[in-house]
Amino acid sequence: TARKKLHTAPVGQVFRLRPFHVLVATGGGYAGYRKYEDYKLEQLEKRGIEVPAKLAREWEVALYKSVPTRLLSRAWGRLNQVELPTWLRKPVYSLYIWTFGVNMKEAAVEDLHHYRNLSEFFRRKLKPQARPVCCLHSVISPSDGKILNFGQVKNCEVEQVKGVTYSLESFLGPRVSAEELHFSQAPPGNSFQQQLVTKEGNELYHCVIYLAPGDYHCFHSPTDWRVSHRRHFPGSLMSVNPGVARWIKELFCHNERVVLTGDWKHGFFSLTAVGATNVGSIRIYFDQDLHTNSPCYSKGSYNDFSFISNNNKEGIPMRKGEHLGEFNLGSTIVLIFEAPKDFKFHLKAGQKIRFGEALGSL
């Protein structure tokens, strides 16, 4: 009887494809194809062959965005919080350690049975002596990771990787008022970049650090500064690995991010935590009102929060090396700051760096 009903039912009812399923299947398949292309690119780079950047077209970016990465990231976050049976913890974590090359000898707790779920393992703390903070240089690396790019900001454009840029204003959003940032008004300038430079003779610099899944996932203060303002951009959660960063122009402007702005002894200073696939959770320790990867948001929107108040006119003071926040899994840190013209980076593009090591100094 059941077989007869199957044969007599309209074909459209048996093989019904909904638009959502088509988008997920198509977008997921294309994302897999891009992963394969990224792998081939990495192999060429290892052999010393430089491949020119091939930027994605608008329809390719739209197709990638059709993948429900925000929903998948929330699901991944809930899965990470499921408590694992004691007997299962060591096999699961050992597989992750082997896959991503995690050095557990640096962990404050090396016993894998101690971590009740994947989330605790991802956010593991390090031994105090594992990351000594450099005292000789004014700016240190806020995290472990890979240096994607660094240098002066030119023509209001910032390089996310070599040859691929994004708009400084699109990334940071409209300039926060000098009164809210609590430092002197910048000299009048025509461009957005000139408006951020508060002292004559200074330049604007940037540095991009990519955190891989096997890296230490907390980030720290890169220098002594005061955080005056937080701006949260809800957005996509596309992958930010170097291959995708070479492919999608203004990738960091598409993705969800948290911009912290303030000042240090040389003027304007900002640190931006950029979200990525499976990294919908960005936590800032002193900001309890921040909630990232919410189910609903308005495209192109952002929300501001000022740490300057009548009771706290200095903002949030941060010491070099002090704990600042954390990711869940891995992502990207972007530093954009003002410094005198004789500021020099002590870096090479593509190098691995660890939290506490020198980025640059005067």
Q: What pLDDT digit, counting tens, does each position of 110-149 carry?
A: 999 999 988 888 888 899 888 999 988 999 999 999 998 9
Rounded distance between C-alpha atoms, residue 60 and residue 31, angstroms:
10
Give the chain's domain count: 1
Cβ-count burial of 137 within 10 angstroms (0-12 exposed, 13-18 middle, 19+ buried)? middle
Whether 107 is covered by a domain: the verdict is no
Domain extent at residue 225: 139-174+192-361
Going by their DSSP bridges, the two strands 257-264 and 344-345 should be labelled as unpaired
Using alpha carbons only, how large is the chain's radius of gyration in Å?
Answer: 22
Encoded amino acid at 38, one letter: D
CB atoms within 10 A of CB 109: 14
Q: Would you say residue 73 lies in a domain?
A: no
Per the domain annotation, does 161 fall within a domain? yes
Q: How far apart are CA 180 and CA 168, in angstroms?
A: 20
Which residue out of 38, 144, 263, 287 is catalytically annotated?
144
Name residue 150's beta-bridge partners. 207
* H or E stretch covering 44: helix 19-46
Q: Can 7 be counted among the known catalytic residues?
A: no
The answer to whether position 64 is within a domain reads no
Q: Report if residue 317 sits inside a domain.
A: yes
- State the pLDDT at residue 90: 92
Among residues 163, 139, 140, 162, which one has the least CA distance to residue 149? 162
311 confidence band (pLDDT: 50, 70, 90) = confident
Give the least confident one: 39-53, 326-340, 344-358. Answer: 39-53
pLDDT at 236: 83
pLDDT band for 6, please (50, 70, 90 cuts). very low
Please pick, among 182, 220, 229, 232, the residue that the annotation labels catalytic: 220
Respond yes or no: is residue 220 known to be catalytic.
yes
How far apart, in whole angstroms, are the C-alpha atoms of residue 244 and residue 64? 11
Does the active-site annotation cover 331?
A: yes
DSSP assignment of 79-96 = HHTSPPPHHHHHHHHHHH
**Considering the domain boundaries, does residue 117 fall inside one?**
no
Residue 351 within a domain: yes
Cα–Cα distance for residue pair 164/2, rounded to 1 Å: 59
In a domain, 316, yes or no: yes
Q: Which of 360, 362, 356 is nearest to 134 (CA)?
A: 356
pTM above threshold 0.85 = no
Beta-strand runs (E) in the chain: 139-140, 145-152, 157-161, 164-167, 202-210, 218-220, 225-233, 257-264, 267-274, 282-284, 303-306, 316-318, 323-327, 332-340, 344-345, 352-353, 358-361
pLDDT tens-digit map of 23-78 = 556 555 655 665 666 666 666 666 666 555 678 788 888 888 788 878 887 887 78
